[in-house]
Amino acid sequence: MLRSLPKLSFLFSSTRNPHYLASAHRFASKGRTIRRPASRVKIGVTTRVPIRSMSTSTNSPVIASEMAAEDQVQVQQVKLLTSTIDDYGGVIVELDQPMDSATFIPILRASVSHWKQLGKKGVWIKLPIHLVSLVESLVKEGFWYHHAEPAYLMLVYWIPESPSTIPANATHRVGIGSFVMNAKQEVLVVQENSGKFQGTGVWKFPTGVVDQGEDICVAAVREVKEETGVDSEFVEVLAFRQSHNSFFEKSDLFFMCMLRPLSSDIQVQRLEIQGAKWMPFEEYAAQPFVQTSDLLKHINDICLAKIDGQYPGFSPKSTSSNFSDQKNYLYLNAGTLKRSNSS
């Protein structure tokens, strides 16, 4: 017999107590309802869940006969973790209400059992920092770390026996370098007072890391402004480089960008930058460090070709996507594409 479970709850058979079963059937046969105290943890599913009554062995033939006849078992109520369905057959749980491990573990186990019956695969639990005490419980139940942010830890679990297809955490960090040249063919360069270039005397292009949710074209303009005080506008992506094991074993994508200066006065940001100035491109390219770097020599060749008008870069084209409501940028060779479409 299938029974529809109450909203925000999931029912489990009490199969270990035949006296409870006998009492349950007697109450059921008289039309009475057994009530259990409701959990004070305000979490649970939001749909009605059908569950088939489970049979159980007992020493009483009377009880066994009643069970066979009615094919039902009164059960105790346990609430489930509230979850949302993701696009890949998994569930996402965002915990918030404080609870201790003794309260949490039975609810977690019941929830995983329920999701398994529904055929769900991956379980994502977003654990806020104020519930850090539950980390050990989750790990002991088979969850593992996926990623962390300042305010939460994301843990995951794979329900099926098949190999997990949960995607890895973000694999790349994105950086930018800015080639900014004025009408005198001078390039904007900086000396850093921290990191690998500290104390080397090397003059380099302004560089930085793209913030989360920030476009490459926006990051390049921002970094130039922050480090030198120079206003600029984005022109093109000239090239990009991929490297590995760069930052805490993550890969790195570095985009070399060309910007057009809108001002010339320099105001150095002293926190990270020791000095900044406009330098003739030939002087920059002649530095021993630049001459001995295979990567920088290639970048110099690209910049020279761009100066001579012989190198087409990739300019940002604002587009929309079926996967997001936000505007995004496609970087393309607009000039070549326009000539190709007009031919």
304-314 burial string, b = 16+ CB within 10 Å, else e?
eebeeeebebb
Angle between helices 61-70 and 18-29 (to 10 degrees): 50
Run of H or E residues at 145? strand 144-149
Q: Is 5 in contact with 50 (CB distance < 8 Å)?
A: yes
Active site residue 141: no
- What whole-number distance in Å separates Cα of residue 186 and Cα of residue 278? 6
DSSP-derived secondary structure letter, 56: -
290: phi then psi, degrees, rounded to nearest 5: -70, -40
Find the catalytic residue in 94, 141, 226, 272. 226
Angle at 223 between CA 220 and CA 229, to 5 degrees: 120
| Nearest to 105, CA basis, from 141, 131, 67 | 141
How many other β-carbons are positioned within 10 Å of the β-carbon of residue 112?
20
Distances (CA, A) of 301 to 104, 283, 308, 311: 61, 14, 11, 10
Q: What residues are labeled active site?
A: 226
